[in-house]
Amino acid sequence: MWYLCVFFHRLLDYRKAEVESLAQLFSNEDQEYQCLQWRLPLHHHPDSPFHFVDLPSEDVAKSIANRSILVKGMYELWGEGGSYEELEECIRNYPDERKLPYLDSNSTFKINVDTFGKVISLQKQTQRIQGLSYIPFKGRVNLKNPEHKFWLMETDDYGASNGLPPMVQKRIFFGREIGGADRKLLPTYQLKSRTYLGPTAMDAEMAFLMANQALVTPGKLVYDPFVGTGSILIAAAHFGAMTMGADIDIRVVRDGRGPDCNVWSNFKQYGLPMPIALLRADNNLPPWRTGLKEVFDAIICDPPYGVRAGGRKSGGRKLMKGVIGPYIVPDDKRTDHIPSTASYSLVECVHDLLDLAGRMLVMGGRLVFFYPVLSEDDNVDNHFPEHPCFKLIATSEQILSSRYSRVLLTMVKTSPYTEDIAEAARLKHLDFKENHLKWLEDGNLHSAVFSPTDPQSNGAADHAKFTKEPKPKYRGKYV
Amino acid sequence: MRLLTHNMLSSNIKGVTNGFPLRIEIEKVVEKQVDFNADFLRNMFPKIEWKALVGAAHTLGYVELPEEVEPSRLDSEDFLRKFHHALLELHLEEGALVCPETGRRFPVSKGIPNMLLHEDEV
């Protein structure tokens, strides 16, 4: 059945992906991943908050809406039109057997008026509600806790204040609410309320979106190989998952900033179950026993790709091939020795992550992680990392500056990790070790993002601006 | 560190072929309650090296686990409770994991194992 799905006007690229993931989660079918069918209302832009979506049942629609972060509401549409006359005709034609159960005299109800892109006065809202008198409401009005909520939604001129192209004609919707996101989660978990934070702690809203993309449910085991202060695992734990995290920096995972300000205390603060395990390990040389595979239901992470924080791995001096010979730790210094680390390039980091996920995820398990994209590159489109075990099912871009974006990639494990794949990964690993310096230079993302623009190339850039379709303005910081 | 973690880790020092299971050196063991979830336990069971779990539980002083186990035992609530306790509620808070082949100690402090290798071990 088709439902009207109204989104918050935020993180535009993430909205449909979230609903699709949740549909997979709540449809309870072990089938291969299937795309949902979407339809736009008349005259609406693809970035509009209003969409129609085909879902298997009202229960599924309700579960999706209530679990989501970006769905403002999911509605059973009773009528729509370009004018109030059209709307009335449409509502009158909507079958009685769909309407009457919700108009019953024993029920309580409330009508909300909502507008997108403009504000209307309370007086006008009341007029609009009174204008619906042709619907035979028999129940009692209850503004605080109604059984049925109805929404009258108007959209016109939404382009002007939200960066969308202007509408040809206004559109009015009337429908019964089925469910909506519980955004109260966000103030509860917002970073500024959290005791222990690192410089790259994941924003709460994004962490919940990532957990939704990863289909986190109670009893699943979720792993973050770059756990840091645990911000991603907190979202996973909120949805009931068993969590496990590793980090190469022992100060972050073990010590934090004291006994009441560390990763454990972050979980305690929200009354969440503690992670099943935190360990200090190197994603480049993971300490998993041979034969261990398919244990994690999801791997969710924000790899250190060197823009805000650089990655580190074991090694350091030894790996600088030909510069310094292999380094031997003297026996009497071993106990408290702090091993040196080497830079961990983006290419190598992503390779290791995919290989780890290929081995350690269950079949159908999900790998959800961020990948940086420079907007200057013309060939960035669809150039994401690949792995024979995985199918890429969603890419959601968040523009962070005029130069770069991060894209949330959602991958599903569709083929088992074979010996051939393991061997290919091992060779690649050796190759990375041999060519350490080369990869380091290749992965120099930081300077591309932060260095001042070269005045020489400005002319060319200007030229490119005219030839290339500029990104819409509203896809910025606030949306 | 829970025994689930112990069951997943091995010594990955270069050249070590048999780094599992890591021997446990105890300084301090604590028990922490974890919500019981039968589905999680049933999912984890086939991935666990049973002998290593029994051995580790013994080291920590818990002897209720049977030496051999048939998957059919997973239907028994009593068994699941014991499995749950051994796998998730026993913590090595302070101590070390010792590589069975080289004797290298991986320290465990504040419940967190430090699996990072020295320069000459990678």
ipTM score for this prediction: 0.94
pLDDT digits (tens, 9 = 90+) for A74-119: 999 999 999 999 999 999 999 999 999 999 999 999 999 998 878 8
Contacts with B1 from chain A: Cβ below 8 Å = 277, 279
Question: Nearest chain A Cα to B39, which residue?
Answer: A219
- What value does the mean pLDDT of chain A take? 85
Average pLDDT score over residue span B13-39: 92
CB contact under 8 A, B1 and A334: no
Q: Which of A286, A312, A311 is nearest to A422 (CA)?
A: A286
- Structural domains of chain B, ranges and CATH numbers in brackets: 3-113 (2.20.25.10)
d(CA A77, nearest CA chain B) in Å = 39
**Which secondary structure element, helix H or strand E, spans residue A181, and what is its range?**
none
At residue B106 the predicted structure's pLDDT band, cuts being 50, 70 and 90, is very high
pLDDT at A363 over 80: yes
d(CA B14, nearest CA chain A) in Å = 10
Question: Nearest chain A Cα to B92, which residue?
Answer: A277
CB contact under 8 A, A289 and B8: yes
A221 touches chain B (CB under 8 A): yes
pLDDT at A475 over 70: no
Contact criterion met (CB below 8 Å) for A78 and A111: no
Q: What is the pLDDT of residue A478?
A: 44
- Asked, as a colleague might, if the bond just before B21 is cis with ω within 30 of 0, I would say yes
Question: Nearest chain A Cα to B42, which residue?
Answer: A219
Average pLDDT score over residue span B91-107: 94
- Structural domains of chain A, ranges and CATH numbers in brackets: 2-182 (3.30.2130.30), 186-446 (3.40.50.150)
Contacts with A286 from chain B: Cβ below 8 Å = 12
Q: What is the pLDDT of residue A208?
A: 97
Average pLDDT score over residue span A162-182: 84
At residue A463 the predicted structure's pLDDT band, cuts being 50, 70 and 90, is very low
A83 touches chain B (CB under 8 A): no
d(CA B26, nearest CA chain A) in Å = 17
Q: Which of A261, A206, A258, A205 is nearest to A229 (CA)?
A: A261
Residue B88 CA to residue A333 CA, distance in Å, equals 34
Residue A344 CA to residue A443 CA, distance in Å, equals 9
pLDDT digits (tens, 9 = 90+) for A205-262: 999 999 999 999 999 999 999 999 999 999 999 999 999 999 998 888 888 888 889 9
Lowest mean pLDDT among A254-258, A351-355, A380-384, A385-389: A380-384
SS3 call for A372: strand
Question: Nearest chain B Cα to A342, which residue?
Answer: B119
Q: Which residues of chain B approach chain A closer than 8 Å at the C-beta?
A: 1-2, 4-5, 7-12, 19-21, 32, 34-35, 37, 39-40, 43-44, 47, 49, 88, 109-120, 122
